[in-house]
Amino acid sequence: MDQPSYSAANVASSSECTRDQLPSMFLHRQQSIENRNLLFNQSFHQLQQHDNQLSQSTEALHVGYEDIDQKPDLAKISKESVIQPADSNTPKQQFVPCKVCGDRASGFHYGVTSCEGCKGFFRRSIQKQIEYRCLRDGKCMVIRLNRNRCQYCRFKKCLAVGMSRDSVRYGRVPKRSKSVDDPFGGSSDLYPDDSAAESRHLALYDIILNISQAHHAHCAVTEDKIKLLQRKHSTLMQRISIPSSQVNFTDEQLETQKLSMWSCLAHSITPAVNRVVEFAKRVPS
Amino acid sequence: MDQPSYSAANVASSSECTRDQLPSMFLHRQQSIENRNLLFNQSFHQLQQHDNQLSQSTEALHVGYEDIDQKPDLAKISKESVIQPADSNTPKQQFVPCKVCGDRASGFHYGVTSCEGCKGFFRRSIQKQIEYRCLRDGKCMVIRLNRNRCQYCRFKKCLAVGMSRDSVRYGRVPKRSKSVDDPFGGSSDLYPDDSAAESRHLALYDIILNISQAHHAHCAVTEDKIKLLQRKHSTLMQRISIPSSQVNFTDEQLETQKLSMWSCLAHSITPAVNRVVEFAKRVPS
DNA sequence: AAAGCAGGTCACGAGGTCAG
DNA sequence: CTGACCTCGTGACCTGCTTT
Ligand SMILES: [Zn+2]
Ligand SMILES: [Zn+2]
Ligand SMILES: [Zn+2]
Ligand SMILES: [Zn+2]
């Protein structure tokens, strides 16, 4: 696939993305999850396109996880890697998500409610005229935890949500354009939810993370193993194809073979089933 | 103290020991061992209060403790066996241990306070998707001096303490999350010790390692061998039980048999004694 | 003034490097 | 392969300007 590139108003030099830009979460469940949450409306369309790409690149996500009997406990996960945008000293402060990455927004930057990170990233991008490149298909998901893995897609998202030098709003925000739901006075059509939406938003990330971790911990389908399987399969087929023409089994033999094969299959598939069960047990209910 | 090299080859060949050095060696070393264990244990008690990491890997550490239980003296440890952190020119700098190996941490890498070594190792591991294998039981202790001996267990420990691409923290550390005790602003498990205690901490790790290694290198009682022994024993008993009723030995025959059995026993036990000697020689003095 | 954002600052850490 | 060292992108704060 050709690699999309950006030459915005000011773009010239090239910068290399790190090759580990895979979004480390979101599997097939993401759609239903997204549907439930209004906060992600803006990117719903984009997410739908991601589904393909994500499911086929799943194996790359398992780097470092195979053969490790990792037992992530939920308490630790929620402590360590769940977003904690709300500082403990300002419980009163409302959470407003960045339109680019979903982190806590710090204000209305370049025309978009965004976080300090995305603001700085966008500023740097338009200042230094950097041309980013996506090493994949240019559809990387941009969320807080992986926003730094693909600069191209982050910048693309910035533009998509409307960041621009021209959208800069100077000075004080007019009083009446402020609202409870959008303290930064951006366009008022996006977040019709009350404050409960914020907690749902956070909970969502929590769930996403949990599922991702559970998957990592128990999915044994790695690239290596797939290749190995393919090799095994082809050699097996070769071996079988030759004698198959000259061999005649009796019905009894066939029956016996069927039984033995079934037993063999059952034996082989048991671990996989166990893994699925383990995975299911990890999904928060 | 220089690093003792315990390569696999070294361990394998180390059971050779000339017989004549046996007795004096043994007695002398035995004393040393006891003294060291005195120091060793109290410090461990103190460590448990301050160091989460140690208690977290208690299981592994027990290997080193099992045969050892005595009374303490703190001053002595810091006096005679302190091992300095890598840099001796910055005495003012506070010591913060790597959560993986206990070496001096260089920062908050992949979500965990860790040293340069573990950081680089983890990066390499997740980049190249290397699949490690443990040559033992997958419970190797991972501490500074032996962290390079088992990649599998080192990586496992990395994951266990929470290293992950998703836990990466970019940018400057928020001011309010910094504290005197935890310069890296990581999670809330702090190390309220002064630097002297940290040096002791480091020294302890090395001592633990030495003893454990010495034990591992010369203890022949592995799980495998125990099982083998049990099998041998039961078959032997079966074989014996049958003829024992119908056989009558003369006194002379019995005497001869006693002698031969004693000789056999002596022959069998010699390697064990040698191993004890070798173990004693490895204990730092 | 007061509020609020663009841009600058620079502590940090990811990733690369390369002797050992 | 390891890890001490280096480079540079990141983002939490800060400063100064613009608009009410
Ligand atoms: Zn953002
Ligand atoms: Zn991308
Ligand atoms: Zn370490
Ligand atoms: Zn191991």
Structure tokens at B207: 């001592």
Q: Which residue has the higher pLDDT, B85 or B11?
A: B85
The total number of structural domains in chain A stands at: 2
CA-based nearest residue to B107, from B126, B122, B128, B124: B122
B151 and B210 share one domain:
no
Cα separations in angstroms, B245 against B234, B239, B248: 18, 12, 8
The number of residues making up chain B comes to 285
Cβ neighbors of B12 (< 8 A, separation 6 or more) are none
End position of a domain, from candidates B116, B134, B161:
B161
| A126: in domain | yes
A201 and A266 share one domain:
yes
Task: Over range B229-233, report the average pLDDT.
Answer: 73
- Judge if pTM exceeds 0.90: no
pLDDT in tens, A104-130: 899 999 999 999 999 999 999 998 888
Residues 144-173 of B with CB under 7 A from strand D: 147-148, 151, 170-173
Task: Over range B8-21, report the average pLDDT.
Answer: 31
The answer to whether the CB of B42 falls within 8 A of the CB of B73 is yes
Q: Please tell me the predicted confidence (pLDDT) of residue B243.
A: 56
The DSSP secondary structure of chain B, one letter per residue, reads: -PPP---HHHHHHTT---GGGHHHHHHHHHHHHHHHHHHHHHHHHHHHHH-HHHHHTHHHHHHHHTT------HHHHHHHS----S-SS-TTSPP-B-TTT-SB--EEETTEEE-HHHHHHHHHHHHHTPPP--SSSS-----GGGTTT-HHHHHHHHHHTT--GGG---SPPPGGG--SS-TT--SS------HHHHHHHHHHHHHHHHHHHHHHHH----HHHHHHHHHHHHHHHHHHHTGGGT----HHHHHHHHHHHHHHHHHHHHHHHHHHHHHHHHS--
Partners of residue A223 in chain B, C-beta under 8 Å: 129
Can you state the angle between helices B116-128 and B151-160, rounded to 10 degrees?
Answer: 100
Q: Please tell me the predicted confidence (pLDDT) of residue B250.
A: 75
CA-based nearest residue to A46, from A99, A122, A105: A99
| B125: in domain | yes
Nearest residue (CA) to C1' of D2: B117
Other Cβ atoms within 10 Å of B168 Cβ, number: 16
A207 and A153 share one domain:
no
A203 and A149 share one domain:
no
The three state secondary structure string of chain A is: CCCCECCCCCCCEECCCCCCCCCCCCCCCHHHHHHHCHHHHHHHHHHHHHHHHHHHCHHHHHCCCCCCCCCCCHHHHHHHCCCCCCCCCCCCCCCCECCCCCCECCEEECCEEECHHHHHHHHHHHHHCEECECCCCCCCCCCHHHCCCCHHHHHHHHHHCCCCHHHCCCCCCCHHHCCCCCCCCCCCCCCCCCCHHHHHHHHHHHHHHHHHHHHHHHCCCCHHHHHHHHHHHHHHHHHHHCHHHCCCCCHHHHHHHHHHHHHHHHHHHHHHHHHHHHHHHHCCC
Q: Which residues surround ligand 4, an ion (CB under 5 A)?
A: B 134, 140, 150, 153
User: For residue B129, what is the domain's CATH number?
Assistant: 3.30.50.10
Q: Is residue B15's pLDDT more than 50?
A: no
Q: How far is the CA of B51 from the centre of ligand 3 (A)?
A: 15
Distance from CA(A7) to C1'(C7), angstroms, rounded:
22
Interface with chain A: mutation pick from B151, B154, B165, highest number of A CBs within 10 Å: B165
| B201: in domain | yes
Q: Please tell me the predicted confidence (pLDDT) of residue A281.
A: 58
Q: Please tell me the predicted confidence (pLDDT) of residue A188.
A: 39
Distance from CA(B249) to C1'(C6), angstroms, rounded:
105
A80 lies within 8 A of chain B by CB:
yes
Structure tokens at A108: 């209305």
pLDDT in tens, A221-257: 555 566 677 777 777 767 666 555 556 667 787 778 8
| A278: in domain | yes
B162 lies within 8 A of chain A by CB:
yes
Q: Is residue B20's pLDDT more than 50?
A: no
Distance CA A192, CA B88 (A): 59
| A71: in domain | no
pLDDT band at B99; cut points 50, 70, 90? very high
A109 beta carbon < 7 A from strand C?
yes
| A-contacting residues in B 17-46 (Cβ below 8 Å) | none
Q: Is residue B118's pLDDT more than 60?
A: yes
Q: Please tell me the predicted confidence (pLDDT) of residue A113.
A: 93
Cα separations in angstroms, A168 against A112, A128, B138: 9, 18, 57
pLDDT band at B157; cut points 50, 70, 90? very high
pLDDT band at B283; cut points 50, 70, 90? low
Cβ neighbors of B139 (< 8 A, separation 6 or more) are B59, B60, B63, B153
pLDDT band at B34; cut points 50, 70, 90? very low
Domain that holds residue B269: 197-228+262-284
| A123: in domain | yes
Cα separations in angstroms, B268 against A45, B217, B272: 76, 19, 8
Q: Please tell me the predicted confidence (pLDDT) of residue A255.
A: 78
The CA-CA-CA angle for residues A46, A117, A88, to 5°, reads: 105
Q: Please tell me the predicted confidence (pLDDT) of residue A154.
A: 95
Distance CA B204, CA B215 (A): 16
Say yes or no: ipTM exceeds 0.90.
no
Q: Return the CA Rg of chain B.
A: 24
Burial, B225: exposed, middle or buried (Cβ in 10 Å; 0-12, 13-18, 19+)?
exposed
pLDDT band at B255; cut points 50, 70, 90? confident
Q: Please tell me the predicted confidence (pLDDT) of residue B137.
A: 86
| A203: in domain | yes
Bridge partners (DSSP) listed for residue B112: B109
The answer to whether the CB of B77 falls within 8 A of the CB of B39 is yes
Q: Please tell me the predicted confidence (pLDDT) of residue A54.
A: 33
Give the closest of A63, A146, A209 to B129, CB-based.
Answer: A63
Cβ neighbors of A209 (< 8 A, separation 6 or more) are A25, A77, A78, A81, A82, A145, B166
A135 and A203 share one domain:
no
Nucleotides of D under 7 A from a protein CB: 1-5, 9-14, 17-20
Low-confidence ranges of chain A (pLDDT < 70): 1-93, 171, 173-227, 237, 239-249, 269, 272-285
Amino acid type, A140 = C
Q: Which residue has the higher pLDDT, A212 or B120?
A: B120
The answer to whether the CB of B185 falls within 8 A of the CB of B174 is yes
A149 and A201 share one domain:
no
Q: What is the mean pLDDT of chain B?
A: 62
Nucleotides of C under 7 A from a protein CB: 2-17
Q: Do B167 and A81 touch (CB under 8 A)?
A: yes
| A274: in domain | yes
Distance CA B230, CA A14 (A): 68
Distance CA B136, CA A230 (A): 30
The three state secondary structure string of B150-180 is: CHHHHHHHHHHCCCCHHHCCCCCCCHHHCCC
Q: Which residue has the higher pLDDT, B176 or A89?
A: B176
Task: Over range B118-145, report the average pLDDT.
Answer: 90
